[in-house]
Amino acid sequence: MSRWLITGAAGMLGRDLAEVLAADGVEYTALTRQELDVTDAAAVRAAVAGHDVVVNAAAWTDVDGAETEEAAATRINGDGPRALAAACAETGAVLIQVSTDYVFPGDATEPYRHDAPTAPVNAYGRSKLAGELAVTELLPERGYVVRTAWLYGAHGRNFVSTMLGLAERLDTVDVVDDQRGQPTWTRALARQLRELGEAAVAGKAPAGVYHGTASETATWFDLARAAFELTGLDPERVRPTTSEKFVRPARRPSFSVLAHERWAEAGVAAQPHWRDQLTEALRVMAPGRSGA
């Protein structure tokens, strides 16, 4: 069985991936950002040695902060994946780079295919695209980029947990209804990455870009209402509003829907419907309130 390395192991996805691997009896090393600076080439080479699959979940995730600190964001999101890809090229390891829908402009009307033109509208998106390009350049045969979006989970701050927290303090919450995407549970993504890694090691998964998001689409308003409903709260307490009411330093894509056609090539199933994911996730995230 293959041996895995997880970078950024203290984050939502990193922790869920570690739990998925542990449940399957897979040998893995989990390194937090304090334990491994992915921009330190020497440290990265030492960490990668002896592993068959590397999943880079380490990232600069402060989207708004990247607007004023783009160089710092690009160092982590661009130079880090480049160092990992170079190390994997030396050892023959597979690298799975976790990326984002923010590499697209967000103005489409149909789901973005894996080979759709990229055109980031903010600094964060540009920094993540730099990482993608590094992986595909240095590891054309063993490099995998998995773009995801609208992540939530049990091990970090996220939209779902924020909404449930607001429900305890406010009678109503206003949530934008003009951005559309695919709410994705980090555990569901972790399961998919696990399958992709094994398929890659077995030579069954073509290298390149994949889109790792839930099936079907929702707005943030839809997601908030579903979270309320599934935890026994009145969904009418969630009220729709527009993005204009929540001005942020970084522009957000209004359409973050990704196509999933490549998973069939790898022999890996697409993720379940976003609402099915949320139902299962709330059993973990809000066990006392989940009605599922």
Is 283 domain-assigned? no
Q: For the chain, first and last CA: distance in Å? A: 35
Contact 96, 196 (CB under 8 A): yes
pLDDT of residue 287: 84
pLDDT of residue 290: 58
Contact 73, 113 (CB under 8 A): no
User: What CA–CA distance (Å, rounded) separates 204 from 199?
Assistant: 5
Report the number of distinct structural domains present in the chain: 1
pLDDT of residue 232: 96
CA distances from 112 to 94, 131, 290 (A): 25, 19, 33
Q: For the domain that residue 94 is a member of, what is the CATH number?
A: 3.40.50.720
Residue 109's domain comprises 4-158+183-214+256-272
Is 234 domain-assigned? no
Contact 267, 205 (CB under 8 A): yes
Backbone angles phi, psi at 243, to 5 degrees: -65, -25
Is 167 domain-assigned? no
pLDDT of residue 288: 72
pLDDT of residue 67: 98
Q: Which of 28, 102, 124, 144 is catalytic?
A: 124
The DSSP-derived string for 117-158 is PP--SSHHHHHHHHHHHHHHHH-TTTEEEEEE-SEE-TTS--
pLDDT of residue 247: 87
Q: Cβ–Cβ contacts within 10 Å for residue 8, how many? A: 25
Is 229 domain-assigned? no
Is 37 domain-assigned? yes
**pLDDT tens sequence for the chain (292 residues):** 799 999 999 999 999 999 999 999 999 999 999 999 999 999 999 999 999 999 999 999 999 999 999 999 999 999 999 999 999 999 999 999 999 999 999 999 999 999 999 999 999 999 999 999 999 999 999 999 999 999 999 999 999 999 999 999 999 999 999 999 999 999 999 999 999 999 999 999 999 999 999 999 999 999 999 999 999 999 999 999 999 998 899 999 999 999 999 999 999 999 999 999 999 999 999 887 655 4
User: What CA–CA distance (Å, rounded) separates 161 from 212?
Assistant: 21
Is 20 domain-assigned? yes
What's the full length of the chain, in residues?
292
Is 124 noted as a catalytic residue in this protein?
Answer: yes
b/e sequence 195-208, b meaning 16+ C-beta within 10 Å = bbbbbbbeeebebb
Is 172 domain-assigned? no
pLDDT of residue 292: 46
Is 251 domain-assigned? no
